[in-house]
Amino acid sequence: MTKTIQPELTLVGAGIGDPDLITMKGIKALRRADVVLYDALVCEELLEYAPQAKKIYVGKRVGQHSFKQEEINRLIVSNAFGGGHVVRLKGGDPFVFGRGHEEMVYAQEHGIRVNLVPGISSSVAAPALQGIPVTRRGDSQSFWVITGTTKEGEVSKDIALAAQSSATVIILMGTKKIDQIMDSFKAAGKEDTPVAIIQHASTPHERIGLGKVHTIADIMREKDLGSPAVIVVGEVVKHHAQYPKALSEVVAKATVTV
């Protein structure tokens, strides 16, 4: 008698880069996967937890989309019905700018059972690993997490709204729009607000740039920082251990230039 294969999808958040930051539940899902569809920001070391599975790279990066979202959706469905258990391994958390909900709904509409395993989001983990709290008594009572670039390729209008608040503002996928983003904070009178840009958080290649709203764009270019990176704007950035030193270096350089 032929065994009926139950099509199943598990959306797994892989965390922010360090393979040790995936959850145990995520590892268990990989161990019983028949197919793994994984993204560009996923550490490929995690694929070793699924030695028996077929691996399909469906990474998407700015300007380098190997698959459109509609194609990924179809791959999920075809592999679930053809192989059984599909693990969709996504960087960070699937529901934080990861389009995980779209994939979940698409799969459910095709009769596929869906599980969700949350992951650690770079929006809070990247600052934390640099000693920057996203909230701190006396500095910030809340935080915004905003995409720097919308699907139309424009700067999110929410940034201008967030800039008017006293909250910590965390911007993902925003380095290519750094000048326009900082213009929103300047327009809100925040020229001297501390800023950090953290690239490749939690990996051996992690780097950071520290400055203020009116200097950070030049610092980013000088340090050659870029995607993937997290931009943190707010008074909490001043608690980074190197922040005073970074500011003094900027001032010294400006004095020499003059």
User: What whole-number distance in Å separates Cα of residue 133 and Cα of residue 240?
Assistant: 9
For residue 35, the cross-strand partners are 54, 86
pLDDT at 244: 79
User: What whole-number distance in Å separates Cα of residue 175 and Cα of residue 12?
Assistant: 26
pLDDT at 102: 96
Catalytic annotation, residues: 39, 60, 173
pLDDT at 258: 44
Write the CATH number of the domain with boundaries 8-117.
3.40.1010.10
pLDDT at 61: 60
In the chain, which stretches have pLDDT less than 50?
A: 1-2, 254-256, 258
For residue 191, give every residue at least 6 positions away whose Cβ sits within 8 Å of its Cβ, in sequence order, or none: 185, 212, 213, 214
Q: pTM score, two decimals? A: 0.90
Sequence-ordered alpha helix ranges (H) in the chain: 24-31, 69-83, 100-109, 122-129, 158-163, 178-187, 216-223, 243-257
Domain covering 122-239: architecture: 2-Layer Sandwich (3.30)
Q: Do the beta carbons of residue 107 and residue 116 sit within 8 Å?
A: no
pLDDT at 64: 54
Q: Do the beta carbons of residue 13 and residue 92 sit within 8 Å?
A: yes
**Domain parsing of the chain, residue ranges:** 8-117, 122-239
